[in-house]
Amino acid sequence: MFIISFILGQYGMQYMFKKENINPKLMDSLVYLMIGATIVGARLGHVLFWEWGYYKDHPGEILKVWKGGLASHGAAIAIIVALIFWSRRYAKKNPLWSLDRIVIVVALAGGFIRMGNWFNSEIYGAPANSVFETVFVEDGAQSVIQRFNPKGIQVENIELLPTGNTKTIDGLEMPELDLRLSYSPSDLSSPESVAQLLPTILDSQNPKDRNLRFIEGSVAEVRKSESGWEASIKAYGIPRYPTQLFEAGAYWIIFVILALLYEKRNAGQKQGFLFGMFLVLVFGFRIFIENYKEIQEHFEEGMRLNLGQWLSVPLVAFGLFLIFRVRRTT
């Protein structure tokens, strides 16, 4: 999704450069700088804003981006700093000129990044019954695998298949799932021990990231297969808001709004206006959508506004300042 975003962003910037007779050779330095700023800024934003307590004791983990952990607020700050540097060093233009144009393609990219979150079953919504409710079975499956590994049981494959039945528990209408596990027992565990472990594992998941719920009274069935052992048990899937899709749709709508303002209303000539609109629309929506998300870190419990909302407030305020500043001078 990052690669798609950078490619489409490059085409978008090339269009604007051509439209305004800007030296196309400047694109190379801009693209490299944006790629670096986005990845480095997003990573450092996650490290500093979300999990500094962990990374300060494990600095070597900071570079392991393949393990996940990218924050949009960190990317936004890094992109702004990088654009200021690029504008003064290479383009010889007011940084607001560059920011007004780059945010159009950044909004487009934001939608694709959230689609990546959807594919990865991350940054999802709180449990809810809704028209768009989604059970993130992949994330639930990974939770089961992670809890088996410390016990020395090698999980080779896991499937979660809907049975067509549902049940209402704690006000949530949950679909019944048939959980099927292929595994190899360890030297210290018997194959049948999985029958006792599965219900315990399903019930011991952290409630804040739980996507599966054990059906009380169910017993796992264990049987020998050609390749090893198999176990199956009934579980319920916990429905959630697919907030990644809501955000992706919102960012693509914002992209269209900014592109039309640039193309039809000549908004690119009002320095700071498009950048301000971007900050207000993107991070204003972020403040709203956070109300429907599951909290991402334990320290956010009990907070009036979560960390994502607090980080968005000053960006929205700065965006409003830029918009009113343009209106006072026109």
Q: For position 134, what pLDDT does the model report?
A: 92
Q: What is the pLDDT of residues 81-124, one digit of tens each?
A: 999 999 999 999 999 999 999 999 999 999 999 999 999 888 89
pLDDT recorded at residue 299: 67
**Considering the domain boundaries, does residue 306 fall inside one?**
yes
Whole-angstrom distance, CA of residue 126 vs CA of residue 241:
6
Percent of the chain past pLDDT 70, that is, above it, reads 93
**How does pLDDT run across 223-242, given as a tens digit for each residue?**
888 778 888 988 899 999 99
pLDDT-derived band at 208 (thresholds 50, 70, 90) equals low
**247 and 305 both lie in a single domain:** yes
Helix (H, G, I), strand (E, B) or coil at 235: strand
- Domain membership of residue 131 (yes or no) is no
CATH code of the domain containing 229: 3.30.70
Structural Rg of the chain based on CA atoms: 24
What is the band of 150 on the pLDDT scale with cuts at 50, 70, 90? low
Lookup: tokens for 183: 């595994």
Residue bearing the bigger pLDDT, 176 or 228:
176
Q: For residue 132, tell me if it sits in a domain.
A: no
* Residue 113 pLDDT: 92
What's 183's DSSP letter?
Answer: E
Residues 270, 199, single domain; the answer is no
Q: Are residues 143 and 191 in the same domain?
A: yes
What are the structure tokens assigned to 211, written together? Answer: 């996507």
pTM of the shown model: 0.85
Of 237, 266, 292, the residue that ends a domain is 237
Task: Let me know whether 81 and 7 are in one domain.
Answer: yes
pLDDT at 48 over 60: yes
C-alpha closest to that of 309 among 286, 293, 277: 286
- Single out the residue of 115, 83, 78, 77 nearest to residue 1, CA to CA: 115
H-run or E-run covering 177: strand 172-184
With 60 as the cut, is the pLDDT of residue 187 above it? Answer: no
Q: Is 212 helix (H, G, I), strand (E, B) or coil?
A: strand
Whether residue 218 is contained in a domain is answered as yes
pLDDT at 318 over 80: yes
* Size of the chain in residues: 330
Do 203 and 66 share a domain, yes or no?
A: no
Phi first, then psi, for residue 240 (nearest 5°) are: -140, 165
Kindly give, in sequence order, each residue whose CB lies less than 8 Å from that of residue 210, ignoring residues fewer than 6 positions away.
140, 143, 238
Residue 155 confidence (pLDDT): 84
Range(s) of the domain holding residue 151: 137-237
Q: What is the mean pLDDT of residues 160-176?
A: 91
204 shares its domain with 73: no
Residues 53 and 17 in one domain: yes
Structural domain contains residue 191:
yes
Number of structural domains (the chain) is 2
- CB-count burial class (<10 Å; 0-12, 13-18, 19+) for 262: buried
Judge if 231 and 150 occupy the same domain.
Answer: yes
User: Are 14 and 122 contained in the same domain?
Assistant: yes
Domain boundary among 181, 204, 237: 237
Structure tokens at 305: 């506004």
Question: In the predicted model, is pLDDT for residue 164 greater than 60?
Answer: yes
* Amino acid (1-letter code) at residue 241: Y
Query: Are 186 and 200 found together in one domain?
Result: yes
Q: Could you say which of 237, 265, 284 is where a domain stops?
A: 237
253 part of a folded domain: yes
Q: Is residue 75 part of a domain?
A: yes
Average pLDDT of the chain is: 88
- Cα–Cα distance measured from residue 41 to residue 142, given in angstroms and rounded to the nearest whole number: 28
Q: Which pLDDT value is given to residue 282?
A: 97
For residues 212 and 144, what is the distance between their CA atoms, to the nearest angstrom?
9
The helix (H) or strand (E) run that includes residue 264 is helix 243-264
**Residue 189: pLDDT band with limits 50, 70, 90:** low
